[in-house]
Structure 1
Amino acid sequence: DVDSGKKLCVVPGGKKGTEERHMGHASHVLCMAISSDGKYLATGDRNKLIMIWDAATCKRLHIFTGHRDAVSGLSFRKGTHQLYSASHDRCVKVWDVGENAYVETLFGHQDVITGLDSLSRECCVTAGGRDGTVRLWKIPEESQLVFSGHQGSIDCIQLINEEHMVSGADDGSLALWGLTKRKPLALAQQAHGEQDAQGLQRPYWISAVAALRNSDLLATGSHSGSVKLWKSGEGFRKLEHLLDIPLVGFVNSLKFSATGDFLVAGIGQEHRLGRWWRIKEAKNSICIIPLKQKTTASSPETPDSS
């Protein structure tokens, strides 16, 4: 419960191979998604499994198998119970959760898929890691569009609306895309600055991106000591840095609340994709960042200055 900070439900894990006998995952949970009606929760793990849960009771309803490597991304199509999954096996799969049914597999990426997102249309977008591409998958047409513009591994992606998306890479760049253009509409190089790594200046990797749906507000995370807020200005053709929010650790995930009242950050001592560095002073935690002050009878709602 975000307001009280209390845990409502905990599903304990178990040993590998015992998933049929107990409720929880037996390996690292890498991704999750909740259906837009709040009925289903989907979780994906390093052991190639997707588990479907009743979101209200945390009762496990079904296990989907079929991926040949870790499940790295999940997203429900808005307004439906159609689920998209991405994996380190380089495939995207489509599932019908209401019918507990597999639908189809989409091929194209040449490296592990590191991120996935979808909205209302029957399509999804993916980040292809070191294959250097972002892809838009058009499900009914059985076609895909390939976008390129980053120089490094593309590690995170988020749709802003049905026409635009944002992605981040380990070359430090943040890209703003139109879904009809194969090159970025705007590109912020070294979006989180540079770090001194063994005497060399290297950009901070972009490890997470978030977009407040159907607005111009974006957020990015790295291990630079802050979450950055951005504005996608000039008709989504410019990235304007707004402010920094201090936060120690690897920002491994970011998500705005539906109303934009707060931003949730998943913080780790290590990067979610590998154990390259460890930030000892960081705490593995969920950080809730308020973006608006609570209204009172005498004062209107204003942005939180902190």
Structure 2
Amino acid sequence: MAEIKPSSDASNSHLKSLLQGSAKRTRELFAEDFASPATLETIPPIPYSVVPQVLPPQLAAERANLFSRIRNEYEAVKELPPSLAAKAAGASAVGRAKKRKVPAEADRASDTKVAKMIEGISERSEASRGSSSALTVRGKGPVPPNANGPTPQRNIPSSSLVRKETYRQPRPEWHAPWKLMRVISGHLGWVRSLAVEPGNQWFASGAGDRTIKIWDLASGNLKLTLTGHISTVRGLAVSPRHPYLFSCAEDKMVKCWDLETNKVIRHYHGHLSGVYTLALHPTLDVLVTGGRDGVARVWDMRTRSNIHVLSGHKGTVSDVKCQEADPQVISASLDATVRMWDLAAGKTMGVLTHHKKGVRALATHPTEFTFASGSTGSIKQWKCPEGSFMQNFEGHNDIINTLAVNEDDVLFSGGNNGSVSFWDWKTGHRFQSQDSIAQPGSLDAEAGLMSSTFDRTGLRLICGEADKTIKIWKPDDQATEETHPLEWKPTLGRQKF
């Protein structure tokens, strides 16, 4: 690399003189006028009369700032419409005479400098603006009907009576029809509760014969029978984090079964009457039960202590659901209400009173923050966390005993008379409805859906029925949109409540 030779003294002195001259020239040009705030108040005298006089920089900046604020805040309402302005013209003469008088001390501006600036701004804006936009529709469009005075009463069509565009229902998604795959017999009473284990290998059923049976999900074979309850088993849940099975029954008992020894290891005492429903919290070691005493009880799974007594329902608590986010507990009751609970405080977050009859079933969507509730002839969908109403599922006119929904947005509802319905969760369209057939040898009156659940894949629906059987449904693999077209006709609107 070539070395940089030091410059000579002559060139150094030449550069130094150039820099000094440039600095001096810069100071002469700018520092005299703008070096201190005091110089911003005035403009130095300009020797040439041809150059127009300009405001001092500080005053010009203040005026521009004030003009911008006034225009943004008051431009749209500065003037009346022409009709009102003409009407007020007669009364304004007296007002002008009053304005000419010297204002009282209270009416004088606190800052005369700002007042003069505002007067100058108003004069400029009036000269520059042709017409007022006060009280008119912004943007493009016709002039409002009352812009030129009150509209005379004539026999002309009024826009207030024009029918608004009706709500257009979204087209429902196509779902394959479901068909009966297997019927499992073995219980000696109504099958009132079902639960699928997290590994999707087996499921448990509880019935009116006071037993809990464990079945292989793939083959439908009986693996185990647990006895211990002395009344109908109404609720079951399998813990995803522990080898525990929880059960509740009409004998007021809530039991925790160890699935490694198949024995009861804990009892949860506290309910005053039959326990009809049970749910496990997905992340906390907490158990929630509800029953005929009208309260939902929150239990510590380990210590068996009763953390909360969620009281507020005036009837039997028929179903309880837990989820990770608020409302962490949702309960349905035969008093026709659904309550959402704050689990930390043990208090009600909200009460849904839209149902007319007792609410017997709840179903929370596995991926969406929504849930459904079912009562006699009515299924309603709600949005969490506030519990706002979304839509009705209309058409299943029976006592709804059970609801279940899977990740494919298929909602299943089972009726007390054996009727089953499959719905599209998004739009509320019922794409399949039929009657379940009671097993041979049983009464037709025993055709009734008591419980239901989807397995972990959502491709198998397990139903417990009043004819003492467990029926497993699956979607038809051969069905396509051509062989089973979507039967859907949009309606003009949908009923709100």
Per the alignment, in what secondary structure is the counterpart of residue 397 of structure 2? coil
* CA deviation string 1:131-186 (max 9, x = no partner): 12101111113211211111222111111326601111111111001211222111
Report matched runs for 1:140-159 at 5 Å.
140-144=302-306, 145-159=308-322
2:332 corresponding residue in structure 1: 168
Which structure: larger Rg?
2
2:255 corresponding residue in structure 1: 93
C-alpha distance 162-60 of structure 1, shift in aligned 2 (>3 A):
farther
Answering whether residue 421 of structure 2 is matched by residue 287 of structure 1, we say yes
1:58 corresponding residue in structure 2: 220
C-alpha distance 242-76 of structure 1, shift in aligned 2 (>3 A):
same
Q: Unaligned regions of 5+ residues in structure 2, if any?
A: 1-174, 428-480, 482-488, 492-497
**Contact in 2 for aligned 1:207/1:253 (Cα 8 Å):** yes
2:169 corresponding residue in structure 1: none
**Contact in 2 for aligned 1:261/1:290 (Cα 8 Å):** yes
Question: 1:120, 1:239 → 2: CA distance?
Answer: 22
1:134 corresponding residue in structure 2: 296
1:240 corresponding residue in structure 2: 388
Per the alignment, in what secondary structure is the counterpart of residue 207 of structure 1? strand
Report matched runs for 1:1-306 at 5 Å.
3=176, 5-12=178-185, 24-118=186-280, 119-129=282-292, 131-144=293-306, 145-161=308-324, 164-189=328-353, 191-193=354-356, 204-213=357-366, 215-223=368-376, 225-232=377-384, 236=385, 238-246=386-394, 247-257=396-406, 259=407, 261-269=409-417, 284-292=418-426
Question: 2:398, 2:267 → 1: CA distance?
Answer: 36
RMSD: 2.3
1:19 corresponding residue in structure 2: none
1:15 corresponding residue in structure 2: none
* CA deviation string 1:33-70 (max 9, x = no partner): 11111112100011210001111111111111111111
Specify the code of the residue in structure 2 equivalent to 1:36: P
Structure (1/2) with the larger helix percentage: 2
Cα deviation for residue 113 of structure 1 reads 0.8
Percent of aligned pairs with the same amino acid: 26
Question: 1:132, 1:7 → 2: CA distance?
Answer: 36
C-alpha distance 142-156 of structure 1, shift in aligned 2 (>3 A):
same
Per the alignment, in what secondary structure is the counterpart of residue 257 of structure 2? strand
Specify the code of the residue in structure 2 equivalent to 1:9: R
**Contact in 1 for aligned 2:266/2:304 (Cα 8 Å):** no
Cα deviation for residue 8 of structure 1 reads 2.6
Moved over 6 A (4+): none
Q: Unaligned regions of 5+ residues in structure 1, if any?
A: 13-23, 194-203, 270-283, 297-303
* CA deviation string 1:270-294 (max 9, x = no partner): xxxxxxxxxxxxxx1332212258x
* CA deviation string 1:221-263 (max 9, x = no partner): 011x22100112xxx3x32111101121111011221x25111
Question: Higher relative contact order at CA 8 Å, sep ≥6: structure 1 or structure 2?
Answer: 2
Question: 2:372, 2:177 → 1: CA distance?
Answer: 24
| Alignment: residue pair count | 253
Structure (1/2) with the larger strand percentage: 1
**Contact in 1 for aligned 2:233/2:248 (Cα 8 Å):** yes
Question: 1:70, 1:122 → 2: CA distance?
Answer: 26
Cα deviation for residue 268 of structure 1 reads 1.5
C-alpha distance 98-290 of structure 1, shift in aligned 2 (>3 A):
farther
Cα deviation for residue 9 of structure 1 reads 2.0
